[in-house]
Copies of this chain bind each other. A is one copy, B any other.
């Protein structure tokens, strides 16, 4: 998965939008949103600082766009992975796998998402920022619903122990995404190891 994953429908052939988003993922992911200078991203892409405002209303607008794309990918990955699982149990395993079967770029996106999730809480003053924020919230809600439904199906079929499905979904999701706070590609722990353990944890939690 390269930077072209970040190209979206409505940008022309000369557009540097995708390149900006790529640089943003790199910088925001490595040094953090606040610590990266907006002008650094411009330099990295090879344009003047103010050209950024041709594509994004603000630095925060860019961040929210990165977050929205990341959330969208997660949602898609979940759907594809669980689409025709033979059982709720298998769907759960595939869902967890889909969360960790990702590129380094997506790892950074997830790290950015976790680090800045609080940004989604309160209203933004600018219109385009607010639009992205609401899109993000909608996607977060959708992802939570995906998991809630997966759990509910398992409970209805008797595969999973009965529990408040929404609260349980939040807890499992929390367990899965908490990893992005400390995981680094090339570090001591591999994603495979993590995936194996987290899968085990999720299965143990829901099994009656």
Contact = CB atoms under 8 A, between A and B. Distances in A.
Interface string A76-106: 0000000000000000000000000000000
B174 A118 contact: no
A3 interface: no
Interface centre among A32, A111, A118 (most CB of B within 10 A): A118
Number of copies: 2
A38 to B, nearest CB: 14
Given A32-B118, A35-B122, A118-B115, A193 B167 contact: yes
Q: How large is the interface on A (under 10, 10 to 19, 20 to 34, 35 or more residues)?
A: 35 or more
Contact of A197 (B35, B167, B197, B204): B167
Contacts of A194: 167
A167 B171 CA distance: 18
Interface string A162-195: 0110011011011101110110000001000110
Given A32-B119, A167-B193, 7 more contacts: A34-B34, A167-B194, A168-B197, A171-B198, A175-B201, A204-B207, A205-B205
6 contacts: A32-B121, A167-B197, A171-B179, A171-B198, A175-B201, A178-B178
